[in-house]
Amino acid sequence: MHLSQVRLNLVYKKMSDINDLRNKMDAVTLEMINLLKTRTDIAKEIGEVKKNIGKGVADEEREDNLRGKIMQVSKEIGLNETLASKFLNFLLNESIKVQSENKQTHLSIFLKAKSLEQKGKKIIHMEVGEPDFSPPEIVKKSLSEVFEKGFMKYGQAKGMPIFREALAKYVSEKFNTKSTYENIIVSPGARFSIFSAISTLLNPGDEMIVIEPAWPAYKDCALNAGIKVRTINTTLEEKWEPSIEQIKKVINSNTKMIVLNYPNNPTGKILPEKLQDDIIEIVKENNLYVLSDEIYSQYVKTNWKSILSYNYEKSIVTQSFSKSHAMTGFRIGYAIADKKIIEQMAKLEALCLTNVSEPVQYVAMKALEEDTTNNSKIIQKRLDMLSEKTKEIGLEFTIPDGAMYIFAKINQKGFDGVEFANNSLEKGLAVAPGEGFGNYKDFIRISACQDEKTLMEGMHILGNIMRDN
């Protein structure tokens, strides 16, 4: 046989080998798809049962158990453990997605309240975290200057340089840090900064620690980006403080970020300084990102220290004009981080938004000149009043150290916050069910975002409902 024919035969043989292997791989993949369908159906069934017995979606203990078994098997069969863990994270997230479809949060109650109002019902809104104050007067005036100042065109993704300069100065003075404009990215609300930090700094299969109760968007952003959330459940009995052991226990080679939010929504908690210092130590030891959502820093009663003051290069702090300047509808916030992180976040912002509206950036820059400490005093006074009333009604809670909420436990057998929030609407009161913030079915969140008289009326309705139950 001619030499070239021999070579050709060899190539044909190899091709046929590849085809055999490909067919095998396809068969395995198809089998996996069939198994995925079976697994998803089972997850749905479990979701239904959990709903009926009032159990939360995620079960960290069971997940840990399974993770342990998978690590063991991976060792035995020689599969890379990080890869196995990432694959497991994908599967666990899919189950959570399937089971979380009808989760009710403060937003769903708000929307129901709005539609009842359209039908003429009077509702007292104690479910949403939206300050009832007007934005500072200077915002109104500066809106009319936008044309003559020429803030009407496309701009830089990270934000207008003069605004970033102004924010850097503001942040440095307020939070005892040395930030420059390079450390700032402007975003349409803190929500987008949070989405952007999670989506750009982490990869699918990575893990992120969330301390609950927590604002639900951290978890939702992670789920959306294929990131596995490791939840730490804190309790009222432990004054909403996570233990260092709890945090250490969930950290593994896939853990990339921890989310902190103090003053906290919904509990109003501020961590004791020593505990916060210890958490940052662990974060540094494990080279994690720390995403610290500090949008309630304007509303603090006790000592509070920004994560910026640790000068840790893997920290991202989010801030917003929504709460500090009552500018929720303007959709304007920002993040403060190392300039390399800002560069990464800016790529996503350019892709999604081009830039934040320049007129809005301009008025927010002007709002920085205004002193809003009076708003903080008003919220504090209301929280004191709400705390008194909550005590009178007989609910269990910890006095908030800051933020704008009271997270209270209703000590009644079989109590369900979602049912309660829906029934309260009929009586003219909207409160947020605890379930929106984690596995806290027997809690409700009451917010201090109405004038005192309205809040008193709301608490009166709440007291009546409690008595009738």
Bridge partners, residue 318, by sequence: 293, 335
Kindly state whether residue 293 participates in binding ligand PMP, applying the rule CB under 6 A. Answer: yes
Which lies closer to ligand PMP via its Cβ, residue 88 or residue 365? Answer: 365
H or E, element range at 218 = helix 217-224
Selected range binding ligand PMP among 74-82, 231-239, 275-283, 320-328, rule: CB under 6 A: 320-328
H or E, element range at 184 = strand 184-187
Which lies closer to ligand PMP via its Cβ, residue 88 or residue 346? Answer: 346
Which residues, 6 or more positions from 244, have their beta carbon under 8 angstroms from its beta carbon?
275, 278, 279, 282
Coil/strand/helix, residue 212: strand
From the list 47, 135, 333, 433, which residue makes contact with ligand PMP (rule: CB under 6 A)? 333
Which lies closer to ligand PMP via its Cβ, residue 188 or residue 458? Answer: 188
Which lies closer to ligand PMP via its Cβ, residue 63 or residue 293? Answer: 293
Kindly state whether residue 259 participates in binding ligand PMP, applying the rule CB under 6 A. Answer: no
Length of the chain in terms of residues written:
469
Coil/strand/helix, residue 468: helix
Kindly state the smallest distance separating residue 322's Cβ from ligand PMP, in Å: 3
Kindly state the smallest distance separating residue 63's Cβ from ligand PMP, in Å: 25
Kindly state the tokens that stand for 403: 């933020």
From the list 224, 328, 398, 454, which residue makes contact with ligand PMP (rule: CB under 6 A)? 328
Kindly state the tokens that stand for 187: 């975003």
3-state helix, strand, coil in the chain (%, to 5): 55, 15, 30
Kindly state whether residue 320 participates in binding ligand PMP, applying the rule CB under 6 A. Answer: yes
Is the alpha carbon torsion for 117, 120, 121, 123 positive or negative? Answer: positive
| Footprint on residues 182-211 left by ligand PMP (CB under 6 A) | 189-191
From the list 74, 142, 255, 265, which residue makes contact with ligand PMP (rule: CB under 6 A)? 265
d(CA 292, CA 343): 18
Inter-CA distances, 306 with 12, 172, 268, 273, 284, Å: 66, 11, 15, 10, 16
| Footprint on residues 100-139 left by ligand PMP (CB under 6 A) | 129
Pair 461, 424: CB distance under 8 Å: yes
Kindly state whether residue 304 participates in binding ligand PMP, applying the rule CB under 6 A. Answer: no
Kindly state the smallest distance separating residue 265's Cβ from ligand PMP, in Å: 4
Kindly state whether residue 297 participates in binding ligand PMP, applying the rule CB under 6 A. Answer: no
Which residues, 6 or more positions from 196, have their beta carbon under 8 angstroms from its beta carbon?
185, 187, 335, 345, 348, 349
Tell me the residue nearest to ligand PMP as measured from the CB: 189
Which lies closer to ligand PMP via its Cβ, residue 128 or residue 346? Answer: 128
Kindly state the smallest distance separating residue 253's Cβ from ligand PMP, in Å: 29
From the list 95, 142, 261, 315, which residue makes contact with ligand PMP (rule: CB under 6 A)? 261
Query: Any idea which residue has 């910026």 for tokens?
Result: 308
Pair 205, 93: CB distance under 8 Å: no
Kindly state whether residue 322 participates in binding ligand PMP, applying the rule CB under 6 A. Answer: yes
Which lies closer to ligand PMP via its Cβ, residue 181 or residue 215? Answer: 215
Bridge partners, residue 229, by sequence: 208
Kindly state the smallest distance separating residue 463's Cβ from ligand PMP, in Å: 26
Which lies closer to ligand PMP via its Cβ, residue 129 or residue 402? Answer: 129
Residue ranges that bind ligand PMP, judged by CB under 6 A: 129, 189-191, 215, 261, 265, 293, 295, 320, 322, 328, 333
